[in-house]
Amino acid sequence: MIIASNFKTNHNRQSTKEFMDFINGKDYFSEVRIFPPYTALNNYDLRPNIRQGVQNFYPVDSGSITGEIGFSQLEEFEIDSVLIGHSERRHVLGESQKEILKKFDFAKQKECEIVYCVGEPKEVREQGIEAVMSYIWDQFDGIDIDYEDLIVAYEPVWAIGTGLSASQEDIKEVLNMLRVKIKAPLLYGGSVKVANTKEILGIENCDGVLVGTASWDKDDFSKMIEIADNL
Ligand code: PEP
């Protein structure tokens, strides 16, 4: 199982260090990923099943791109896991599929683990499963779904940060359809919390969860990993 925490714009350097040290001090079996903000990246001596990743990057090694972070800055922190295509970047910041693809190809060339996020907005969900899958497959446009270090996260936009997780049936239906073409591990994300982690991890073809809000508390995040360990 893969249990991933997306800090988004939360935690500072000090609280991130406390979080990382706490999680790293535990002897979990599950694969754990933590995506802090850039400003809180640090050099940690992490267990092999725990990795620090980034929520974003600009697809250059270095250059003249004011305000952006390239790969040469990330290598200092031994970053080898990246989030790409998160709904907040697609829908809030207007990142296009073309820009997302550039990041994907760059991270692939860097041999990074890529957590690639897809998911439909509410108005598409209301049109039914065919519209949902058509929308999601479009988000794979140009993406190498056979990349060996790929993890796919299905995160319905309407379930992210809303406290309203998708139903088990909805998650199962989408993951099963993704599984037909995608061999990579499949995560679910969208209002996962301690109380629903077990039932979500029990869904067919669900290989883990990507968690925002409920993962920012280290005790809760730890409980979710323990639930995965005990399955
Ligand atoms: C996310 O940011 O990927 C996410 C799933 O957020 P939340 O858990 O808050 O819905």
Each residue of 188-207: pLDDT tens digit? 999 999 999 999 999 999 99
- The Cβ of residue 61 has, within 10 Å, a number of other Cβ atoms equal to 13
86 is catalytic: yes
Would you say residue 34 has pLDDT above 90? yes
Write the pLDDT tens digit of every residue in 96-121. Answer: 999 999 999 999 999 999 999 999 99
Predicted pLDDT at 149: 98
Centroid of ligand 1 to alpha carbon of 45 (angstroms) = 26
Strand residues in 65-155 grouped as ranges (E): 81-84, 113-118, 150-154
Is residue 162 very low, low, confident or very high in pLDDT (cuts 50, 70, 90)? confident
What is the rounded CA–CA span in Å between residue 197 and residue 3? 10
Task: Determine how β-strand 2-6 pairs with β-strand 208-211.
Answer: parallel
Q: How many domains does the chain have?
A: 1
Which residue segment(s) compose the domain that 61 sits in? 2-230
Is residue 209 very low, low, confident or very high in pLDDT (cuts 50, 70, 90)? very high
Which run of H or of E encompasses 32?
Answer: strand 31-35
Question: Does 190 contact ligand 1 (Cβ within 6 A)?
Answer: yes
Triad 101, 105, 109: Cα angle to 5°: 170
In this structure, which residue's CA is closest to atom 6 in ligand 1?
212
What is the rounded CA–CA span in Å between residue 127 and residue 115? 27
Centroid of ligand 1 to alpha carbon of 107 (angstroms) = 22
| Domain CATH number, residue 57 | 3.20.20.70
Task: Say if residue 122 is exposed, middle or buried (CB neighbours under 10 Å; 0-12, 13-18, 19+).
Answer: exposed
- Is this model's pTM higher than 0.95 or not? yes
Question: Does 192 contact ligand 1 (Cβ within 6 A)?
Answer: yes
